[in-house]
Structure formats: structure tokens, C-alpha cells
Amino acid sequence: MTREEAQAEARAWCDAWNRGDLDAVMSHYADDVAFNSPTVPQRWGIADGWLRGKERVRENFAIGIRKPGLRFELVDVLLGAPNILCILYRRETGALVTDLVETDEAGRGLRVVACYGEGKS
């Protein structure tokens, strides 16, 4: 994936979240995605923070996408190995967030780890 392709994907992903378009958000994830986030233990009581499978991740995102005032502002996209990228964005709370994404052959998120900075209360 080139830097330009990664940036275009990240912009499309942020735009889908900002529009509240869950189907468009989910189009960026593989069917067998593994997703880790601090929201998982809070919402689902899963201590290790991992959700597996697109439908389970969709359930989680369906909650988050309804948050009033939700806004993702793309800050940067960092490239790692040929199938690794890191999306750095700012939430409506002011918190910086990174999504470290390992992609499948089609460029969809296969293994994703979200890390949250502190925002305003």
C-alpha cells in the first residue's frame, strides 16, 4: 500500500464515521477481523479487550457511532511493513487515538488495535 492509498483509505474511514454510516465503516474490515480497544472491556466485560469477527465488531461500532457529536479528524497515517498502517486521529473529545491496522490482501483491517489518549472531560 502506498502512502497515498493509505491516506485515501484513512480519509474514507474517518468520513464514514463522521457521516454515521456503519455499513461504510464496516467495509474497511475483513470478515475475520480481530479488534482490540479500551472500549471492549467497558462495553462487553471482555477483560483482554479483543472482539473477533465482523459481526461482533459491528455490534461494538453500532454503539460508538451513535455518540452525539462524534467526530474523527485525521491527523496522519504512518506506514509499517507492507500490510501495516497506523491511523492517527483526534476525537471530538480532543483525545488522540491510534488504530494500528494489519490488513488482508484486499487492504481491509484484519487485526486492529486502538489506543486512546486523554481527552477533555
Question: What residues have CB less than 8 Å from 35, skipping those under 6 apart?
Answer: 29, 50, 51, 52, 57, 60, 109, 112, 114
Dump pLDDT digits (tens) for 22-48: 999 999 999 999 999 999 999 999 999
Please tell me the predicted confidence (pLDDT) of residue 120: 66
Dump pLDDT digits (tens) for 101-113: 999 999 999 999 9
Report yes or no: 37 and 49 within 8 Å, Cβ to Cβ. yes
Element (H, E) at 42: helix 39-44
Domain positions in the chain are 3-116
Closest to 50 in 3D by CA, of 63, 60, 37: 37
How long is the chain?
Answer: 121
pTM listed for this prediction:
0.92
Please tell me the predicted confidence (pLDDT) of residue 121: 45
Nine-digit cell at 77? 497515517
Please tell me the predicted confidence (pLDDT) of residue 1: 82
Q: Measure Cα distances from 39 to 60, 64, 81 in Å.
A: 8, 9, 27
Reply yes or no on whether the pLDDT at 94 is more than 60. Answer: yes
Does domain 3-116 fall under CATH 3.10.450.50? My reply is yes
Dump pLDDT digits (tens) for 36-89: 999 999 999 999 999 999 999 999 999 999 999 999 999 999 999 889 999 999
Report yes or no: 33 and 57 within 8 Å, Cβ to Cβ. yes
